[in-house]
Amino acid sequence: MKWRIDEIEAVDGVITGVKYHVSHQIEETTVESEGNWTFRHDHQKVPFEQVTEEMIGEWLEEDEIIDGKAVITGRILEQHEELNKTKVIPPWKPQIFIPNL
């Protein structure tokens, strides 16, 4: 996963939330998502001035696990699986050839 952090919320130098954009590429297919996240746990172990975008991405991946499921990255992977499924034309629609590009 490639995380981009667009905005940070902080209280007294402790990051409490972020606006993120995440993308994941498998072969030629890329799935992207963006949203806001309020951290449920304090992951920040370094001074605010030393925090990097990569650190926040790691914190997001740790914090997004709810009841054993990754709510952000898990959904990205599900979308990849859906994109790779073979699509079938419903029988009531005209049966035409659609090239798979």
pLDDT at position 30 is 92
Residue ranges covered by each domain of the chain: 2-84
pLDDT at position 98 is 65
Give the pairing type, strands 65-66 and 69-70: antiparallel
Q: Comparing 19 with 40, which gets the higher pLDDT?
A: 19
- Candidates 83, 65, 72; CA nearest to 34 is 72
- Find the angle CA(7)-CA(13)-CA(15) to the nearest 5 degrees: 45
The token pair at 29 is 């297919």
pLDDT in tens, 42-94: 888 889 999 999 999 999 999 999 999 999 999 999 998 888 888 788 889 88
Most confident stretch, 3-7, 38-42, 78-82:
3-7
The token pair at 59 is 């914190």
CA-CA-CA-CA dihedral for 9, 13, 15, 19, to nearest 10: 30
